[in-house]
A = this chain, B = another copy of it.
Amino acid sequence: MNAEILSVGTELLLGHTVNTDTTIVARELSTIGVNVLYCATVGDNPARLEEAVRQALSRSDILVTTGGLGPTGDDLTKETVAAAAGKKLVLHEESLRRIEEYFKGRLWGESQKKQAWLPEGCTVLPNDVGTAPGCVFETETGKIVVMLPGPPSELTPMLTRYAIPCLASREQAVIVSENIHVFGMGEGAVAELIDDLMQGANPTAATYAKDNEMFVRVTARAESEEKARKMMAPLSAEIRERIGSYVYATDCESLEELAVQELLKAGKTLATAESCTGGLLSKRITDVSGASQVFEMGAVTYANRIKEQVLGVSHETLEAHGAVSPETAREMAQGIRRAAGSDLGVGITGIAGPGGGTPEKPVGLVYIALSDGEHTWVRKMMPGSAGRPRSRSWQRNAAASHALDMVRRYLQGIGGLEDAGLKR
């Protein structure tokens, strides 16, 4: 079946809210074999909304709306969609009780009750974290309409717990994909390597850029997940083979997820000393739930004084080579390892920009060191292609990713620790 996602909200058209709802809904629909062919966004305007609903119902089997279910005057989705689909709204007693319970002991207005009015005959989707319920109903022409709230924190649980199981029971085919994650090689370089493998129709392979990484998605459509996986396996293996050790994982969320997994597996601990990345590396590591078992300590040492005091970087090194140098990175990694009593230590120092660059040490120059007590490896990260400076946040993210890549290469024992080797 084909679906269309329609987001409602003037804030989306003004460009002050990123529409992540569409992404979340599209991803979940693809897991149950529903093809999304169109996404659209309209403002809180009944006429344009109604027109968009009519168009969607004329060309798609499923219409999923996001947003506009709340209590305020510009929350018009339910009324408008129900009218366009020829349905009346009726009061849903259980939803009213849920809303009353949500506001127990607090001041609340009549307008909140509006949220309990839903299209007659619909399946109600409970809102576990907010007040506005969603719903699923079928139109007279056999089209399915799903209405979800706008805030992603409410939409996501309603979608995955209630809407997707409800839709899945109607679907036959399954779309399965896996993502082959690559760090250190650009999308263009990978696309050239696997160009001939990207021509198939089922399974398919496609390349995607992602921050300072890229990934290859392999997708198959079949009547069962098992069959789909069997179709994908040889293609996926050939792709991994060609890209080699730049592939860091398949279907792993991120480099930090992998690094934490590998540390847990090896029973090793890590500590980090960051200058230009300012805590981003430790933040990314501790984004992974359970990181506390392997992450001993992070230090953000901007000032040279602190580098000496906390990490024991020698005054002579800082004087002779400067704070942004392989020597300082090396001593930072060794110093934090000693200070934290961890198995591994990482040191990052560089110039994230936009200010602070010089001809000898331009914005984008970063040194990343990893020490295990016996050896210390240093990777050098240079400014982007053709010397073009990238944004501060890009630089910082790339430097943290290099550190994580060094950690996983160390733990996987595959070498390449010092080779920045960004192939673009």
A389 CA to B309 CA, complexed, in Å: 40
Known contacts A13-B35, A14-B217, A18-B20, then 16 further A-B pairs from the complex at CB < 8 Å, ordered by chain A residue? A13-B36, A13-B37, A16-B27, A16-B208, A279-B286, A279-B298, A289-B353, A289-B355, A289-B392, A295-B300, A295-B302, A297-B306, A298-B299, A298-B300, A299-B299, A305-B341
A234 lies within 8 A of chain B by Cβ: no
A35 CA to B129 CA, complexed, in Å: 34
Which B-chain residue is minimally distant from A35 (CB atoms)?
B13
Which of B22, B35, B354 is in CB contact (< 8 Å) with A289? Answer: B354
A131 CA to B48 CA, complexed, in Å: 37
A353 CA to B46 CA, complexed, in Å: 41
A43 lies within 8 A of chain B by Cβ: yes
A264-293 interface (Cβ within 8 A of B) = 272, 274, 277-283, 285-287, 289-292
| Known contacts A15-B25, A109-B192, A310-B339; A287/B278 CB under 8 A | yes
A172 lies within 8 A of chain B by Cβ: no
Which residues of B sit under 8 angstroms from A282, Cβ to Cβ?
A: 278-279, 283, 300
Which residues of B sit under 8 angstroms from A20, Cβ to Cβ?
A: 18
Q: Which secondary structure dominates chain A's binding surface?
A: mixed
A209 CA to B152 CA, complexed, in Å: 11
A167 lies within 8 A of chain B by Cβ: no
> How far, in Å, is A83 (CB) from chain B's closest CB?
20
Which of B14, B289, B385 is in CB contact (< 8 Å) with A36? Answer: B14
A353 CA to B274 CA, complexed, in Å: 25
| Known contacts A278-B287, A279-B279; A297/B303 CB under 8 A | yes
Are B290 and A355 closer than 8 Å at their CB atoms? yes
Interface string of A318-343 (1 = CB under 8 A from B): 00000000000000000000011100
Which residues of B sit under 8 angstroms from A301, Cβ to Cβ?
A: 297
Interface string of A20-39 (1 = CB under 8 A from B): 10111111111000011111
Are B206 and A11 closer than 8 Å at their CB atoms? yes
Which residues of B sit under 8 angstroms from A41, Cβ to Cβ?
A: 22, 38-40
Are B278 and A280 closer than 8 Å at their CB atoms? no
Which residues of B sit under 8 angstroms from A375, Cβ to Cβ?
A: none
A297 CA to B274 CA, complexed, in Å: 10
A296 lies within 8 A of chain B by Cβ: yes
| Known contacts A37-B43, A283-B283; A18/B16 CB under 8 A | no
A40 CA to B29 CA, complexed, in Å: 18
Are A393 and B17 closer than 8 Å at their CB atoms? no
A43 CA to B3 CA, complexed, in Å: 13
Which of B39, B274, B283 is in CB contact (< 8 Å) with A278? Answer: B283
